[in-house]
Amino acid sequence: GRILSGMAVPVTPPPTSPMVQHHLTAEVDAVVKQQVAMARLGVGECGTGWQLFAEDGEMRMYRREQEVDGMVVDPLKAVHTVKGITGHEVCHYFFSPQYRYDWETTLEHMNVVETISEDTLVFYQLHKRIWPASQRDVVFWSHIRHLPNDQDRDGPHIWTVVNQSTEHPEYPGCSGKTVRIYLTVCLLCQTIVNPPKDGAPISRNDISCKITYCSVVNPGGWAPASVLRAVYKREYPKFLKRFTAYVINQSKNKPIMF
Ligand code: 18C
């Protein structure tokens, strides 16, 4: 069986697909551009009523209450500033499959279904069950990208990871007792550097990372709104705090990855 509950098995992704232009390439590019543009909008702009629901130090989490066919799909937008790490580092640890079990606490199983290219993978994830709801799973492509700042060559460069639900013939999602989740997630990271005045080399004390995390998750099947919103409220702050602490810890004795 492919399900190894909770075990951190070493991940050996399948080899890169040999096609010149994979059928997902155009979709990936379009969704990434759209998600990055949306993530760059502040929570005050657009007049769309983001409401603050969690706050901890520099971290702020906002949501908009939204339902589709009676199901809660509240969009989430979180902003955070973390000292001592770069946007490249944050995106590297979020994207790479070998670290996922270290920081993703809701995971029961994860595997790479397909390697589209070095920067685009397709994942299958089975998440822990919340009693009494059905267990959830998800298939999504994940893309990591560096966005050079074209307005200001010395300005901050931006890194992003976008995850978007997709279909895969080996994981049909309509069989068995799991319910398929649909998600769109965008992690956008900007490195801020305060160069030391004495011309000394840049150290981790001189850098910080401005993080924006946006997510829309459709639970795929009915779940009580109050339970769902309670899960959101508990899990999203837990994720962002734990994940950023993980990146700080992984990066601290390594050279800065700009
Ligand atoms: O972005 C994040 N992680 C990425 C890499 O894994 C990727 C995947 C996101 C998966 C999100 C869906 C998670 C479903 C979890 C279900 C059970 C969790 C609780 C378990 C407690 C024991 O993009 C970071 C994601 C941070 C996760 C936040 C939680 C979101 C909750 C969404 C609820 C979905 C429906 C749950 C159905 C049960 C309702 C009673």
What residues line ligand 1, using a CB cutoff of 6 Å?
104, 106, 125, 127-128, 130, 133, 136, 138, 163, 181, 183, 185, 217, 219, 223, 227-228, 231-232, 235-236, 239
The first and second tokens of residue 223, run together, are 């779940």
pTM: 0.91
Question: Best mutation site among 106, 166, 215, 228 for ligand 1, i.e. most ligand atoms within 8 A of its Cβ?
Answer: 106
SS3 assignment, position 245: helix
pLDDT at residue 1 greater than cutoff 50: no
The average pLDDT across 110-131 equals 96
How many separate helices (H) and strands (E) can be counted in the chain?
4, 12
CA-CA distance, 115 to 111, in Å (whole number)? 11
pLDDT at 64 over 70: yes
What is the 106 CA–ligand 1 centroid distance (Å)?
6
Q: What is the mean pLDDT of residues 96-117?
A: 97
Residue 202 is classified by DSSP as P
Residue with tokens 């779940």: 223
Question: Which range is least confidently modeled, 52-56, 71-75, 151-155, 165-169?
Answer: 151-155
- Please write the tens of the pLDDT for every residue from 153-195: 656 679 999 999 999 999 998 777 899 999 999 999 999 999 8
Model ipTM? 0.96
CA of residue 152 to ligand 1 center, whole Å = 37
pLDDT at residue 12, rounded to an integer: 79
> Under CATH, domain 54-195+216-251 is a member of which superfamily?
START domain (3.30.530.20)
- Whether residue 219 has a cis bond before it, omega within 30° of 0: no
Domain-by-domain residue ranges, the chain? 54-195+216-251
What value does the mean pLDDT take over residues 120-133?
Answer: 95
